[in-house]
Amino acid sequence: MTTRPDPRPEHHPTPADLAGTSSSARPAAGAAAPAAPRAATGQRRDTGPQPTADRPHLVRTAAELRALTRGTGPRVAVMTMGALHAGHAELVRAARERAGTDGQVVVTVFVNPLQFGAGEDLDRYPRTLDADLAVAAAAGADVVFAPPVEEVYPGGEPQVRISAGPMGEVLEGASRPGHFDGMLTVVAKLLHLCAPDVACYGEKDAQQLALITRMVRDLNFPVEIVGVPTVREEDGLALSSRNRYLDAAERRTALTLSKALFAAVDRLAAEAALRTRAAAGAGPEAAAARASGLAALGEDREAADALALAHAVTSPPRTAAVARAAAQSVLDEAAGLRPPLELDYLALVDPRDFTEVDEDHTGEAVLAVAARVGTTRLIDNVRLSLGARA
């Protein structure tokens, strides 16, 4: 879903955050890029007023949505809680690309009461439907489905809900017990009501994306889940509605989240290059002899490089430890800034179940971080590939 605006003093990520943003990409122009022109869909509308260039078809009930002609291509859904921004627009553009000119892009706008816990004011959450329609249209949406609460939860709050299980109790789930149950319940209901072929969610809220992917697989939902990379601002900060609450000094501190993650990316790249050089060299004995000779000549930097090559041949690649250490070093320094970065967690997890990976893990992993700067809580992550010996 998407990064939702963060009523003060604090709100944790919501399913709407999933439609928002995320990515392991470096600062990209995506955050500031102008909205793509709305793609033609080549499909006929059977009910209700016709959409215009700046206003997609607005429907309020599942019956109205079912009555619309779907087109010959796939229906692709983007789920939000409204108050759309550039991150949501990027999701809609990704959905438009998946749908093609013959498919249909449906953006849901629904403020889910099950996601609001104690101290979170549901009534204060911004409702900006007219502005949302304009953002959705400019990014390529055909339909905005904005149901009332009674349409999604007829008869009141559901007695039967989706449980996130152990995967929903760690990291973000530990900070907000029960939140992921409410998120999965509304996502399941909206998937049933919209009946999409594909649904797009942002990678920034990686744990929520992983839970939705797992729910769809475990419960046999006939839909493909697609993760869309995080949109970043020019300075590298992951795009979020919460960024507006940061003053200049707080923003400088907040930048250490992305700096820590990219320090891990850079360190892994350096380790991989070192192992490649070592594999192409003359072997550990020759490298060690060269290091000894260089040290005797006082060439300390070259000797250290030769010794590192020798170790790269003989030692296992411990990339998990390297990634953690590189990120943690940056975060430790940020604790001394003014204002300081107050770290909640730094975790290197398996994207399939969000359990911490072992030191000898190879393959995909997610390096996730959450921290508070002043009164604002921020999250970010990057995807890493932890490799075996070259």
Catalytic residue numbers, as ranges: 88
SS3 at position 349: strand
Number of helices (H), then strands (E), in the chain: 12, 9
What DSSP state is assigned to residue 53?
T
What DSSP state is assigned to residue 342?
E
Instruction: Kindly report the length of the chain.
Output: 390
| DSSP letter for each residue of 211-271 | HHHHHHHHTT-S-EEEEEPPPB-TTSPBP-GGGGG--HHHHHHHHHHHHHHHHHHHHHHHH
Q: Within 10 A of 358 (CB to CB), how many other CB atoms are there?
A: 10
| 234 bridge partner residues | none
Please measure the distance between the N-terminal and C-terminal CA atoms of the chain and give it in whole angstroms: 38
Q: How far apart are CA 222 and CA 8, in angstroms?
A: 38
Sheet holding 363-373, edge to edge: 342-349, 363-373, 376-386
Residue type (1 letter), 340: P
Alpha-carbon dihedral of residues 4, 35, 65, 74, nearest 10 degrees? -110
Q: Within 10 A of 304 (CB to CB), how many other CB atoms are there?
A: 13
> Phi, psi at residue 310, to the nearest 5°?
-60, -45
What DSSP state is assigned to residue 350?
-
Alpha-carbon dihedral of residues 117, 120, 121, 125, nearest 10 degrees? -100
Q: How far apart are CA 190 and CA 110, in angstroms?
A: 9
| DSSP letter for each residue of 287-315 | HHHHHHHHHHTT-HHHHHHHHHHHHHHHS
